[in-house]
Amino acid sequence: MTDSQVTETRTTAPLPYHAHGLGARALAVLATPGGAVLVLAIALLLATIAANPNFGDPGVLIRFLGRTAPIAIVALGQYYVIVSGEFDLSMGAVIAAQVVIAGNFIGEDESRIIPGLVLMLLLGVGIGVVNGLVTTLLQVPSFITTLAMMLALGGLVDYLSGGAATGNPPDKFREIGRGAIEDVPVVDVIPYPLIILTVLCVAAAWLMRRPFGRTLIAVGDNPDAAAVSGARVWRVKTQAFVLSSLASTVAGILLVGYAGVHPSVGQGYEFMAITAVVLGGVVLGGGRGWVLSAVAGAFALELLFTLLTALEIESTWRDSVQGLIIIAALAVSARAWTLGRGRRTSPPPKTADRPTEPTPGTNIGEN
């Protein structure tokens, strides 16, 4: 190849993806389903402030973020399961069970706060292990497994509580969910749930960049290929279920501070989490989606409900809105991810550009 040919090749070669500017890459990210939810959240925030100007006050806004933190944490847990190709319908029941156990075991005895927290975390791990092993080793669809777990825990909650509110734990325990750092400039307070959510988001972003996160996405995309490459599919999916149950446990601890001990606490959280995750662009069926977009989906969903309330639309429409969001998000995200994959796939080399076989008896070929 002559020098002029080398110069021409270097001039006409396309720029690699990472060579584009920061603005272009930011726009490319916002054009994906996972990035579009950020635009949606900002649009809903502006619409809510327009409908209710008081919502734009920094103090009101920071308290809204604190109230939404338990839902975002549940969405975070549901993300691990969905991106691995499964469902977890037991999250709401896990929250209710943890809330009732907090009321029955801890009661008003402050000396039982630490043992109670340990018991709740162990119960969360145990539920996740059972869900994971039944789904992976016994090959029971996760939809059936977690539905059965939801019913079983619902019966346990009714037995322990009698179907009515029971005693609340001491204020030191409830302070985890309703407490805040006070006298903060501009926003006045920073709720503890928001701090806990921030820590969990940082941990989740770090975890998804580790081998576990990459393996989790690979298992959700193609479990057979992941197994052939050496991944232990059953163990990775079981760990996802454990993380989901632990997220529900943390949400239950926070909700005790807000709502007290009642068997209805956590009701419907599993569907809200699924809605938030798909709204964040995570594909049902697994293999694609960003963990922080799932959290952004939770905030977008709550902003939508807040906007509906500001517009004086009856709360009975919430379930209908959730259903429509799931249908629309599924259709849009599946189409967008398909187009995105098509753009990333390089076209096959032209026949004339393919390297030729060396002439027999020589080592000469064209490249």
Q: What is the pLDDT of residue 340?
A: 53
Give me the CATH number covering residue 112. 1.10.3470
Tell me the C-alpha distance between 106 and 252, whole Å: 14
261 lies in a domain?
yes
Q: What is the pLDDT of residue 312?
A: 84
- CB contact at 8 A, 173 and 254: no
Question: Tokens 């809330």 identify what position?
Answer: 99
Cβ atoms within 10 A of the Cβ of 323, count?
12
Domain coverage including residue 132: 54-334
Q: What is the pLDDT of residue 333?
A: 61
For the chain, list residues with pLDDT below 50. 1-4, 6-15, 346, 348-367
Q: What is the pLDDT of residue 213?
A: 93
Tell me the C-alpha distance between 290 and 58, whole Å: 28
- CB contact at 8 A, 254 and 176: yes
Helix (H) or strand (E) holding 250: helix 233-259
Q: What is the pLDDT of residue 366?
A: 39
- CB contact at 8 A, 100 and 266: no
73 lies in a domain?
yes
- CB contact at 8 A, 269 and 163: no
Q: Which neighbouring-strand residues pair with 180?
A: 191
Of 84, 182, 161, which Cα lies nearest the Cα of 128?
84
- CB contact at 8 A, 61 and 190: no
182 lies in a domain?
yes
Q: What is the pLDDT of residue 122?
A: 95
> Most distant CA pair in the chain: distance in Å?
89
Q: Tell me the CA distances in angstroms from 299 to 35, 66, 76, 230, 255, one per residue in order.
A: 14, 11, 12, 37, 17
Q: Tell me the CA distances in angstroms from 181 to 94, 255, 274, one per residue in order.
A: 28, 18, 31
Helix, strand, or coil (residue 188): strand
Q: Residues with Cβ < 8 Å from 362, sequence gap 6 or more? A: none
360 lies in a domain?
no
Question: Tokens 């999916």 identify what position?
Answer: 237
Please work out, in degrees rounded to the nearest 5, the angle formed at the alpha carbon of residue 162 by the alpha carbons of 158 and 165: 100
138 lies in a domain?
yes
Cβ atoms within 10 A of the Cβ of 341, count?
10
Q: What is the pLDDT of residue 341?
A: 55
Q: What is the pLDDT of residue 284?
A: 79
Q: How many distinct structural domains can be found in the chain? A: 1
Q: What is the pLDDT of residue 91?
A: 94
**Count of residues for the chain?**
367
Question: Tokens 């706060």 identify what position?
Answer: 113
Helix, strand, or coil (residue 281): coil
DSSP state letter for 351: G
230: left (phi over 0), alpha (psi -120 to 50) or beta: left
Q: Give backbone dihedrals phi and psi of 191, rounded to 5 degrees, phi first.
A: -60, 145
108 lies in a domain?
yes
355 lies in a domain?
no
301 lies in a domain?
yes
Q: What is the pLDDT of residue 320?
A: 83
Q: What is the pLDDT of residue 365?
A: 39
